[in-house]
A and B are shown apart, each in its own frame.
Chain A
């Protein structure tokens, strides 16, 4: 249940951004969450609703884009998407890989009104 920790951090960052930009209401938060992360979108939404009540972010929509796990093979440079937890180059079979994406946990933007 580390969703609450993650959502608390999100909340802190978006409130600071809203203040800097003099927003009176936050209506949507656009997030990128890598598929390697053990984060349940439903739990994140639940946690967000629990902590955002009575703030300018109350009722805001959490738009969560799940980012594919992509790897670059260190042996043959092939770039591929990891499916079914298989971390092996689909071209040459090597397991020496560089992570390109999948561990992302990023606030892309917020939408709101001044």
Chain B
């Protein structure tokens, strides 16, 4: 006999993500989900971002790592609320783990939460975590073919940061072909070219975050 089910496999995750999104909206908190490969410069970007915003807004960070708290240790100097999620081998964060992490923050006192997802271009884009937006980070050293190879992330993201522009001359990164592929996949995806270690291009990112917070009614 055949029994109809018609149920979304990730329903549990998606329902929890919806709860988180509603909770954060009601508390006026912006949650951004940063997704990239390992070594693209996510943690460096976060260091610069926290440094930039910490005196102006209440910032918190959730660090997703398969194992270790190395990324979190780099952010400890800023004395901001910080939770590490060790996924014990899982290649992505899910909404259940984010809900547990949020329980450890005082939500009355937060404006923006940055989530550093597990370094991976594939799996994190499949799991919503209740974010206001996904942000894709790609570095020039990874190659210009990544949008075409991992289209879902570049479809799902609202912003892309192209990092390590300072190293581009030493790589075979072809900007023309990169933008051609990206336009095909998501013409409306804004790209910020940056070099986090050289503090270049970051103003565009900071402005984007602030605009997102203004649009969400989080800051005035």
Contact = CB atoms under 8 A, between A and B. Distances in A.
Nearest to A7: B9
Contacts of B165: none
Interface in B1-30: 1-10, 12-13
A79 interface: no
Contacts of A2: 90-92, 122-123, 126-127
12 contacts: A1-B91, A31-B9, A37-B126, A38-B152, A84-B184, A85-B151, A95-B187, A105-B9, A105-B10, A110-B3, A112-B1, A112-B3
Contacts of A21: 3
B6 A107 contact: yes
Interface residues of A, number: 33
A3 to B, nearest CB: 9
A9 B151 contact: no
Among A5, A31, A36, A105, chain B packs the most CB atoms within 10 A around the CB of A5
A1 B184 CA distance: 27
Given A2-B92, A38-B123, A108 B9 contact: no
Given A2-B91, A85-B184, A36 B9 contact: no
Interface of B: 1-10, 12-13, 90-92, 94, 122-123, 125-127, 148, 150-152, 155, 181, 184-188
A9 B12 contact: yes
A109 B150 contact: no
B188 A96 contact: yes
Interface of A: 1-2, 5-6, 9-10, 13-14, 17, 21, 23, 31, 36-39, 84-88, 95-96, 105-114
Given A85-B185, A95-B186, A106 B9 contact: yes
A96 B188 CA distance: 8
Contacts of A10: 9
B40 to A, nearest CB: 18
Contact of B2 (A95, A105, A110): A110
